[in-house]
Amino acid sequence: MSKQIQVSGLDAYYGGHKAIEDVSMTIEPRSITAFIGPSGCGKSTFLRTLNRMHEVIPGARVEGKVLLDGEDLYAPTVEPVSVRRMIGMVFQRPNPFPTMSIYENVAAGLRLNGRVSKSEMDGVVEESLKGANLWNEVKDRLSKPGAGLSGGQQQRLCIARAIAVKPQVLLMDEPCSALDPISTLAIEDLMAKLKDDYTIVIVTHNMQQAARVSDRTAFFNLAEQGKPGKVIEMDETSRMFTNPSEKATEDYITGRFG
Amino acid sequence: MTTIQHISTGRRVKDRIVQGLVYLAFALAVVPLVSVLWLVISNGLARFDMEFLTHSMRNIGARDAGGGAYHAIIGTLEQVLLASVISVPIGLLTAIYLVEYGNGGRLSRAISFFVDVMTGIPSVVAGLFVLAFWILFLGMPYSGFAGAMALSILMMPTVVRSAEEMLRLVPGDLREASYALGVPKWRTIVKVVLPTALTGIITGVMLAVARVAGETAPLLLTVFFTDSINNDPFSGPQMGLPLFVFDQAARPNDTAIDRAWTGALTLILIVMLFNLVARLIAWWRSPARGR
Amino acid sequence: MTTKVEIREGGPATSRPAPRRTSSEGLFRWLSTGSGIVLLGIMAAIAVFLVAEAIPALSANKANFFTELTWDPNGSLVFGIGALAFGTVLSSAIALVIATPVAVGVALFISHYAPRKLAAGLGYLIDLLAAVPSVIYGLWGVAFLVPLLKTPSEWLNATFGWFPLFAGDGAIGGKTMLAGGIVLAIMILPIIAAISREVFLQAPKMNEEAALALGATRWEMIRMAVLPFGRPGVISAAMLGLGRAMGETIAVALIFPATFGISFQILTPQGNSIAANIANGFGEAGDIGRGALIASGLVLFVITLLVNMAARMIINRRKEFMKAGT
């Protein structure tokens, strides 16, 4: 249940401002693709165009094609709601629903899609929490509020919530930037496990993280402040970090800027 | 290749229905506004003439045409002015206490809480209080001033809240800079903080004035009625424009009803004028204009 | 009640020179603190003087003030607020039932549906509803709403007459509880809408995005991330609206026909309220009459005070919660 994403000639705008320009790439299924680059280079914006979350911001729009196993996500007949149902997302800051319990948080997405029996729901919640390596820590307090968990646990709860609806793709927008190193490690282990089932795309500021977890890496950069961001280079992660073909990539990776 | 599934018809329909209901709610809320304004303007224009604006109701019989609201307009303006004179210093000083001296202590929290509660006092209760205290207990006569006192009770919480908000917007740096020059705190407040917040405070006061200018119930109990011009708010019954409308509306003949509508039109114009001036001051000072 | 004035140093500014305690400084501090205390004093004075002026009338009363339905303090000295309190509660309840859903809809429209550029202007339009003086709503109610409601009322009575609220055998329509309730609803709508709009706008963006990213429609997103968050705010807004509706005087004084009975029939020409009775009865009231009206006003004051305090406590607790959350 994991699919390939093909992007061609994609531009994204905020009102009159062009945030990214002419991005084309292929994201392979059952692998982790990392986006790296300096702040403001449009990597998060690009990530949000992949499940049509970009257009949630007033005035934001997209031009170009995003194909999910050949099907255009931006075709006129496609609804953003169904796209997001198939392409899950985990955000920078853990955002469990504050008024819901742990159980309800995981069940939230599933409940949208019609009636599910109690036993079936219990099964999905357990399976998702296990999938997110959280089950053992919360199984005795499923009815407690999700906001009572630690930051790292909350983020894994959000991952459980995202995988509970069995998406084809999982997008992660700097999922560890608000977490301590131990929680970060837990999330990274989890990603390695989830990659067997999902296409995973992760935006990260942390180059070591990209090198540790990802199979392929794309480097985003912008010519100068105010200009749109572009993909400078995309390659196997191992090659990218040892032998990049672009000077800018090498400068960024070795910490000469950014 | 599986195609992207559409969401179920049920969910889409529900989403559409809610959207429809939300739009409908807004329309429902705007309809009475438009209807009220339309009715007041169309019915009020008939008698909106110089006689109405320059004459009182003195010697105008119950069924006579003619007459005007000059006495009521004078009364309203004087009462509102007096109400501001009472409530603005108290309100402003209370706001200064809350922002500069209160420090979130018990007294300031109590004041802050009761200011909020005070906004909910029914206007008729404010009138009854002045009636009980000023007219019945102290034995003073009905007068424009008594009405102004009742109105000032209704104005105070609004003035406190808006002034407080404005004072809190004044950057702490400004105060520090003044302290650093050795200026004492009270002079800093008077010379630096207040001028900076002044336009915002004026806006708040104008909005408070607009609110109380339309109040009828407190006047009914404190200024009583008169058909004659009484320029002295400190002695004898006065009239107020809202009271004029109420009085004329209760008289069962068409000429009186016509006067009520024209009074309503005049009242709305005055209230909207205060509102407009307040917004203009706010707009003139707003950061968007780059000042 | 002893009020301890705590005098502590420092305002929003953190550091400042040791104050030269001049007499002007002390005077100014005393003036501003004193003003705050005056405000508290006014609240206390309202209670004290209403009680003081009500006592003579209450002791002259030949009936139970709280349960008696008739109001004749100037003649037989038999008077009570039974019917008036009932009318106040019923008309405010009608207003609340009508205004709350519409106000929540308006608030959602402005916070989550209207185009961003228009939202502020449309919100101002709703605020204008609050700027229209009460006496004008009364005039509008009598001249426009009452005739307008005639046919729908007759239809409601004919079709749902078995339902107690819509029952009635005599005249249907005219100056009814329904007409008064609708006018009250229009008058309290802006405050409920304004507060609800604020809490809806405060709903965390990140939770809204989480809901959308799960594939929620706009309504599902609002139900998951906005409404649960805004519920306490909407409840306290509705309570503030209730307080307004109960105290609203002139509009209902013009609409209600000032009857003194207890009836749930909101489509028949009857209705009254504590506040309306004060406005309508003041002109003819003698000494005892005025005292009796003051006594009824005292009851109104206490009820609205309790409702308002409860509403404010809910809001304040929410503020604490918000501070702790961020």
Question: A50-83: per-residue pLDDT in tens?
Answer: 999 999 998 899 999 999 999 999 999 899 999 9
What's residue B287's pLDDT? 58
Cα separation, B114 vs C18, whole angstroms: 33
Mutation site, B2, B4, B13, interface A, largest A CB count within 10 A: B4
Tokens 């009914």 sit on residue: B220
Cα separation, C147 vs B35, whole angstroms: 14
- Which uninterrupted H or E stretch holds A85? helix A80-86
- B71 and B160 share one domain: yes
> Who among A71, A73, A82 is closest to B1 (CB)?
A71
Encoded tokens for B32: 């009475």
Contact between A85 and C215 using a beta-carbon 8 Å cutoff: yes
Using a CB–CB cutoff of 8 Å, tell me whether B181 touches chain A. no
Describe the crossing of helices A151-164 and C205-213 by its angle, rounded to 10 degrees.
30
What value does the mean pLDDT of chain C take? Answer: 89
Lowest average pLDDT, out of B59-63, B151-155, C13-17, C195-199, goes to: C13-17
Size of interface A-C (CB pairs under 8 A): 66
Q: What is the tally of structural domains in chain B? A: 2
Residue B266 within any structural domain of the chain: yes
- B76 and B39 share one domain: no
Q: Which amino acid is at B130?
A: V
Measure Cα distances from C299 to C46, C85, C89, C320 in Å.
12, 9, 13, 32
Cα separation, A40 vs C200, whole angstroms: 29
- B131 and B176 share one domain: yes
Higher pLDDT, C233 or B290: C233
Q: Which amino acid is at B100?
A: E
What's residue B291's pLDDT? 38
Give the CB-side neighbour count of residue C254, counting CA atoms within 13 A: 32
Domain that holds residue B15: 9-47
Tokens 């989890």 sit on residue: A190
Encoded tokens for C256: 């209600």
- B227 and B273 share one domain: yes
Q: What is the tally of structural domains in chain A? A: 1
Task: Sketch out chain C's domains with CATH numbers.
Answer: 71-325 (1.10.3720.10)
Residue-wise pLDDT for C132-174, tens only, equals: 999 999 999 999 999 999 999 999 999 999 999 999 888 888 8
- B175 and B232 share one domain: yes
Work out the minimum CA distance from C157 to partner chain B, whole angstroms: 23
| SS3 of residue C269 by DSSP | coil
For residue B179, give the chain C residue with the closest CA: C16
Cα separation, B206 vs B277, whole angstroms: 7
For residue B33, give the chain C residue with the closest CA: C129
Strand partners, A203: A35, A173
Residue-wise pLDDT for B1-25, tens only, equals: 456 777 888 899 999 999 999 999 9
Cα separation, B86 vs C278, whole angstroms: 26
Using a CB–CB cutoff of 8 Å, tell me whether B3 touches chain A. yes
Cα separation, B155 vs B171, whole angstroms: 27
If pLDDT is split at 50, 70 and 90, which confidence band does C9 have? very low
Mutation site, C214, C226, C227, interface A, largest A CB count within 10 A: C214
Residue B3 within any structural domain of the chain: no
Residue B1 within any structural domain of the chain: no
For residue A73, give the chain B residue with the closest CA: B4
Using a CB–CB cutoff of 8 Å, tell me whether B42 touches chain C. no
- B185 and B197 share one domain: yes
Describe the crossing of helices C177-202 and C116-131 by its angle, rounded to 10 degrees.
140
Encoded tokens for A112: 């949208």
ipTM, two decimals, is: 0.92
The CATH number of the domain holding residue A194 is 3.40.50.300
Domain that holds residue A226: 5-100+169-253
What value does the mean pLDDT of chain A take? Answer: 91
Cα separation, A176 vs A164, whole angstroms: 20
Residue A120 within any structural domain of the chain: no
- B157 and B15 share one domain: no
What's residue B288's pLDDT? 53
Burial of C126 (0-12, 13-18, 19+ CB in 10 A): buried
What's residue B142's pLDDT? 92
> Who among B26, B40, B271 is closest to C105 (CB)?
B26
Residue A43 within any structural domain of the chain: yes
If pLDDT is split at 50, 70 and 90, which confidence band does C15 have? very low
Residue B231 within any structural domain of the chain: yes
Give the CB-side neighbour count of residue C321, counting CA atoms within 13 A: 14
What's residue C10's pLDDT? 42
Residues constituting chain C = 326
Work out the minimum CA distance from A221 to partner chain B, whole angstroms: 32
Query: How, if at all, do strands A199-203 and A32-36 pair?
Result: parallel
Residue A154 within any structural domain of the chain: no
| SS3 of residue C321 by DSSP | helix
Give the CB-side neighbour count of residue C228, counting CA atoms within 13 A: 14
Tokens 């026909």 sit on residue: C257
Residue B280 scores a pLDDT above 90: no
Residue-wise pLDDT for C302-322, tens only, equals: 999 999 999 988 888 776 655
Q: How many helices and strands (H and E) does chain B possess? A: 12, 0
Pick from C70, C88, C62: which is nearest to C259 by CA? C70
For residue C217, give the chain A residue with the closest CA: A81
Mutation site, A52, A73, A84, interface C, largest C CB count within 10 A: A84
> Who among C210, C217, C224 is closest to A81 (CB)?
C217
Work out the minimum CA distance from C60 to partner chain B, whole angstroms: 17
Work out the minimum CA distance from A105 to partner chain B, whole angstroms: 20
Residue B4 within any structural domain of the chain: no
End-to-end CA distance of chain A: 36
Contact between B11 and A70 using a beta-carbon 8 Å cutoff: no
Residue B14 within any structural domain of the chain: yes
